[in-house]
Amino acid sequence: MMTTFKKTIGAIALAGVSIVAVAAGVQAAEKRPTELAPLGEPPAPPDNPTTPEKVELGKLLFFDPRLSGNSAMPCSACHLPELGWDFPDKISLGYPGTTHWRNSPTIVNTAYYGNYFWTGVSKSLEAEARTAARGGVAGNGEDDMMEARLAFIPEYRKRFNEVFGTEYPSIRDAYMAIAAFERSLVQRDTPFDKYMLGDDKALTKQQKRGMELFTGKAECSTCHNGALVTDQKYYNLGVPGYDGWETDELAQITFRFELLAKGSTEEKYRKWKDDPGLYFVTKEKADLGKFRVPSLRYTKYTAPYMHNGMLETLEDVVEFYNQGGGTNEFSKNKTKLLKPLGLSKKEKADLVAFVESFTGERLLMETPELPEYAPLPAVTN
């Protein structure tokens, strides 16, 4: 009996657990998944350091419709704060007279991405702001026109001078300010983050069961890993093509416009009925139908899901993966990582509950009061 007791005490000591703690009924901290991590401080590039004044200027510009072709399409038109900082429809809002052709991702936590848009065409938030403001079915703006408008706004001349040291606003600096503002939209206090930082009670029992599925049977962490919960790689999952292209004439026109603008042969222009995705960037057939893995953070408020919004709820997303993905025009490129999972109804509910733990309270923001135009000061000799 005494020998058995000594072996037990020795095993506890080797495990790094205090004998006093065991005697007091205190349990060791729960084991955290190594595939995932809490978010750290958001990065800021050396050529665009973050300052409070720059963020405040970027906030004004983010909500200002004058940074668009028709002075009516601000960044916030497609990234609505009260609706997840994205657009609540399958396809994002398009420039007046057009429609968009892809789902609008949230900009919450985009500070941590290494590339932007569904196919990674922009490599920084500064480039993303410029691409969105000038996109034919997005802001449709021209740099010189937008810059001229800023010059006629005294408040902007003052703020740009204070932040960038220029006499008149530069459109390049405007994109820098918008990027700085977007980097400030960070959420690091989710139940998941609190749990990963040591709070065992931050997740419910259901969410902990879901976490085990996420990193185990469901194999979600194969692609959704790290602090941002994405490997930022590109896959074809077999997501069905956008159904609006079957019935919406304007959506059909936009789709053909994008095929032509991004470089398609006449044969492909006439034949393709689905979004070629990463192919537009690489022109490699192996990349047809591939899109970047998005972060799962803040997704509780960003329905619908996938690059074309074809999955309406998080429950639909889990069921999609449970079935081993889907099929589309480019399914021969579908990733071999997907296979039927055989999840029960209870397991699927547990998984959804865990995914929701990557989201905290809504990040809300009122539209700021925008500065007014005024005549330029007279030139004096």
Residue 100 annotated as lining a ligand binding site: no
Residue 320 annotated as lining a ligand binding site: no
Residue 80, φ and ψ in degrees, nearest 5: -80, 120
Residues 6+ apart with CB under 8 A from 280: 119, 262, 263
Residue 187 C-beta-side C-alpha neighbours within 13 Å: 23
Residue 75 annotated as lining a ligand binding site: yes
Residue 244 annotated as lining a ligand binding site: no
- The H or E element that residue 235 is part of is strand 234-235
Neighbours of 37 (CB within 10 A): 16
**Which own/partner pairs from 254-261 qualify as long-range (CB within 8 Å, at least 24 positions apart)?**
254/94, 254/98, 254/99, 254/100, 254/101, 254/137, 255/101, 257/136, 257/137, 258/101, 258/137, 261/136
DSSP type of residue 85: S
- The H or E element that residue 155 is part of is helix 154-164
Distance of CA 220 to the CA centre of its chain: 17
Structure tokens at 86: 């994205």
Q: Shortest CA distance to 370 belongs to which of 70, 56, 53, 147?
A: 56
Residue 288 annotated as lining a ligand binding site: no
Identity of residue 139:
G
The answer to whether 186 and 164 have CB atoms below 8 angstroms apart is no
Residue 79 annotated as lining a ligand binding site: yes
Phi-psi region of 143 (alpha: psi -120 to 50; beta: other; left: phi over 0): alpha
Rounded to an integer, what distance in angstroms lies between the CA atom of residue 291 and that of residue 237?
Answer: 9
Rounded to an integer, what distance in angstroms lies between the CA atom of residue 351 and that of residue 299?
Answer: 13
Q: Shortest CA distance to 131 belongs to which of 92, 100, 175, 90?
A: 175
* Annotation: binding site: 75, 78-79, 220, 223-224
* Annotation: binding site for heme c: 75, 78-79, 220, 223-224
